[in-house]
């Protein structure tokens, strides 16, 4: 598929990335002569990159529902801080033990084990401070945002998924458990992003809009993971920015344990379609529809 | 000094401990067949013990200022979760590498490195969910509580102190930096406890009461640390529940680097007195005054 097909989306993603980067920089501009190294470690992983898909979801759901992205931006930044913390901790030697992340040394390779651990802790903590300080939102919406973030990131969310993931190395798990793993480890935060965007536009978690956003996000989350599993097999290390074949090396169960490449692609296509169907309840959802297609065809 | 001198305080501490334990159990009763181990790891460190000094400060400031401890209890529990997470992460091999905590194996010795790391992450995350759900507080007070907790626990608070602490092993630091270390690593959370109690009683961070609480807590925090440093030298392993002399073994700068035992005791006495002076602005502060004296004379 051509890049032209996604011209508007790519422009919107680039614009969002730039705005998110600036907002994150604003939240991380401080330093201290005695413990500046942990702030440097935070900035190292938080700034300078990525497609910022999760913050885009927050801001784009807000915009699509008639909200102001100035209202959603602190929530987008808070979520990105949590995502970044999870990557730093996932890469640690006691976890996935990854030396590289996004084509550069992982945080602990650059700053040492203790500082990387603390930088992760600090970003997780900061996320809640930032969400609580979302000044364009009323206090009850801020409270709801903190609560959504904590539940998505906590032991019954992302952390639970990580525990299943670690527990599943070098043993086979059922497809059902693999789906649970993904819906928690990556899905919970993606769903949270979509719901935070709704919340910032005035649509609480009980609204039809928020429920539609949840369905959409759960769908693209699963598709994202299925595509990830395929890319781990078929992509090159250069394109991916990390070692390929790492899933198999670690004896991890993936979609490829149950399906071949073609079946996995078909599965990703189906959940993407159902995600797009859920967008019927979202007013100005063209870009979100494009995003679902774009993530399906990505090659890195 | 006799236990009789502290009869009322000890009864209040015991009563508080029991109530906090029950409330914490209520927040941690869930399990899951696939990731229950991380919840077990959380409960292992969170439940079953300790004097619960920090939750007592939250609840007692609330009560002393005419508030209802049903309002402050979720904040007390949130703070204790953050305190517990910090102990779990501090004990990890990449940090202080301690095998024992409160007379039993530290979390990673019992549950493994990865699960201990994740249990700490989960408790930190859960703390914000619990604070956000403090149903007896209005949304703006909950937002303020989340913000106070995040700032106290974050990189400009407790984590900054931990970075200084790690950076200070096997080298000498100035007394000024030692004071900064303590005011951040342990002081920030103790001050936060006192301010949360005020907040739950309707006294925001700008109130004279909250400022008095801050002075009091900063004072007992420093005294607590000075006494800790003395006990590391003069106490026995059995009384303390951990190895003694560990500070010196690790080449850590302590109050004993600058003062002898007598001078350190005198210093602890002075900051305790100034803490008690600050209580003049707090209505029913008898127990808080006793607590300051009690912490000063503790032997474990």
pLDDT in tens, B191-225: 999 999 999 999 999 999 999 999 999 999 999 99
Q: Which of B29, B34, B120 to mutate to test the interface with A (most CBs of A within 10 A)?
A: B34
Cβ contacts from A onto B, under 8 A: 158
In degrees, to the nearest 5, what angle opens at C-alpha B138 toward C-alphas B135 and B143? 95
CB distance A250 to A169 below 8 Å = yes
Question: What pLDDT does A177 receive?
Answer: 96
pLDDT for residue B1 is more than 60: no
DSSP letter at B183 equals I
Can you say whether the dihedral through the CA atoms of A218, A221, A223, A229 is positive or negative? negative
pLDDT over 90 percentage in chain B: 86
Chain A environment of B89 (Cβ under 8 Å)? 117-118, 121
Mean confidence (pLDDT) of chain A? 94
The DSSP 8-state label assigned to residue A52 in this structure reads: -
Give pLDDT, residue B2.
56
Alpha carbon distance B242, B232 (integer Å):
9
- pLDDT tier at A247, thresholds 50, 70, 90: confident
- Confidence at residue A300, expressed as pLDDT on a 0 to 100 scale: 79
pLDDT grade for B170, boundaries at 50, 70 and 90: confident
Shortest CA distance to B51 belongs to which of B268, B291, B289? B291
pLDDT of residue B300: 79
Answer whether B38 sits within 8 Å of A113, measured CB to CB: no
CB–CB of B117 and A92 under 8 A? yes
Minimum Cα–Cα distance from A120: chain B residue: B121
Chain A nearest-CA residue for B161: A35
Q: Report chain A residues whose CB lies below 8 A from the CB of B77.
A: none
The reported pLDDT for the residue numbered B29 is: 92
Q: Distance, in angstroms, between B12 CA and closest chain A CA? A: 32
What span, in angstroms and rounded, lies between the C-alpha atoms of A253 and A251? 7
Going by C-alpha positions, the residue among B220, B195, B218, B209 that lies closest to residue B131 is: B195
Q: What is the mean pLDDT of residues A76-91?
A: 98
B38, B133, B160: residue with CB nearest A155: B38
Residues of B in contact with A164 (CB under 8 A): 34-35
CA angle B213, B214, B219 (to 5 degrees): 100
- CA of A208, closest CA in chain B: separation in Å? 23
pLDDT for B237 equals: 58
Please list every residue in chain B whose beta carbon sits closer than 8 Å to the beta carbon of residue A177. 34
* pLDDT of the residue at A160: 98
Alpha helical stretches, state H, A137-284: 139-153, 158-167, 175-182, 188-200, 208-234, 237-240, 246-249, 255-258, 261-278
Nearest to B159 among A95, A118, A159 (CB): A118
pLDDT band at B234 (very low <50, low <70, confident <90, very high): confident
Asked if A125 and B166 come within 8 Å (Cβ–Cβ), the reply is: no
Residue B139 has pLDDT above 60, yes or no: yes
Are A34 and B149 an interchain contact pair (Cβ–Cβ within 8 Å)? no
Instruction: List all residues 6 or more positions away from A27 whose beta carbon is below 8 Å from its beta carbon.
Output: A77, A81, A126, A130
pLDDT value, residue A11: 97
Contact B143 A143 (CB under 8 A): yes
How close, in Å, is residue B293 to chain A by CA atoms?
Answer: 32
Residue from A25, A150, A153, A19 nearest A83 by CA: A153
Residues of B with Cβ-Cβ distance to A120 under 8 angstroms: 121
Buried-state track B63-96, b at ≥16 Cβ within 10 A, e below 16? bbbebebebbbbbbbbbbbbbbbbbbbbbbbbbb
Q: CA-CA distance, B294 to B287, in Å (whole number)?
A: 10
Chain B partners within 8 Å of A140 (Cβ): 139
- pLDDT category at A7 given cuts 50, 70, 90 is very high
Return the percentage of chain B with pLDDT > 70, whole number. 95
Q: What pLDDT is recorded for position B257?
A: 93
Distances (CA, A) of B25 to A19, A25, B45, B227, B264: 43, 39, 12, 31, 38
Q: Which positions ≥6 away from A6 have C-beta within 8 Å?
A: A290, A293, A294
In chain A, the percentage of residues whose pLDDT exceeds 70 is 95
* Stated pTM of the model: 0.96
pLDDT at position A192 is 98
pLDDT value of residue B239: 64
Are the C-beta atoms of A53 and A79 separated by less than 8 Å?
no
Least confident of A135-149, A232-246, B78-92, B93-107: A232-246
Q: Which of B125, B161, B167 sits opposite A150 (nearest CB)?
A: B125
Percent pLDDT > 90 in chain A is 86
Q: What is the mean pLDDT of chain B?
A: 94
- The pLDDT of residue A236 is 63
- Cα atoms in the 13 Å half-sphere on the side-chain side of A114: 19
Q: Is the confidence metric ipTM above 0.90 for this complex?
A: yes
Which residues lie closer than 8 Å to B71 by C-beta, 6 or more apart?
A: B62, B134, B136, B137, B200, B201
Q: Can you tell me the distance from the alpha carbon of B191 to that of B152, in angstroms, rounded to the nearest whole number?
A: 8
Q: How confident is the model at residue A299, as a pLDDT? A: 83
CB-CB neighbors (< 8 A) of B88 in chain A = none
Q: Is B100 helix (H, G, I), strand (E, B) or coil?
A: strand
> Are the beta carbons of A117 and B95 separated by less than 8 Å?
yes
How far apart are alpha carbons A192 and A213 in whole angstroms? 9
CA atoms within 13 A on the CB side of A214: 14
Number of Cβ within a 10 Å radius of residue A122 = 30
* Chain B residues with beta carbon closer than 8 angstroms to that of A151: 129
Average of per-residue pLDDT across A40-64: 95
Q: From its phi and psi, is residue A173 left (phi > 0), alpha (psi between -120 and 50) or beta?
A: beta
């Amino acid at each position: 598929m051509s890049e032209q097909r996604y011209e508007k989306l790519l422009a919107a993603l680039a614009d969002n990335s730039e705005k998110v980067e600036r907002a994150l920089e604003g939240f991380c501009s401080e330093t201290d002569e005695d413990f500046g190294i942990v702030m440097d470690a935070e900035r190292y992983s938080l700034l300078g990159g990525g497609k910022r898909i999760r913050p885009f979801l927050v801001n784009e759901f807000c915009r699509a529902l008639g909200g102001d992205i100035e209202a959603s931006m602190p929530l987008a930044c808070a979520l990105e801080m949590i995502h970044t913390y999870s990557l730093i901790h996932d890469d640690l030697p006691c976890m996935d033990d990854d030396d590289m992340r996004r084509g550069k040394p992982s945080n602990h390779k650059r700053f040492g084990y203790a500082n990387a651990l603390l930088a992760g802790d600090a970003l997780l903590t900061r996320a809640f401070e930032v969400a609580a300080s979302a000044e364009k939102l009323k206090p009850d919406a801020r409270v709801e945002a903190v609560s959504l973030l904590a539940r998505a990131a906590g032991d019954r969310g992302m952390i639970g998924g990580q525990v299943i993931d670690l527990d599943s190395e070098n043993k086979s798990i059922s497809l059902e458990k693999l789906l649970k793993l993904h819906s928690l480890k990556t899905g919970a935060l993606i769903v949270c992003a979509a719901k935070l965007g709704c919340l910032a536009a005035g649509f609480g978690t009980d609204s039809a809009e928020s429920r539609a956003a949840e369905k959409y996000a759960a769908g693209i989350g699963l598709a994202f993971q299925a595509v990830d599993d395929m890319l781990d097999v078929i992509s090159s290390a250069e394109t991916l920015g990390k070692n390929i074949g790492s899933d198999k090396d670690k004896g991890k169960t993936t979609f490829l344990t149950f399906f071949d490449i073609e079946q996995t692609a078909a599965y990703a296509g189906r959940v993407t379609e159902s995600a797009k169907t859920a967008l019927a309840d979202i007013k100005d959802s063209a870009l979100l529809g494009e995003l679902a297609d774009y993530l399906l065809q990505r090659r890195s």
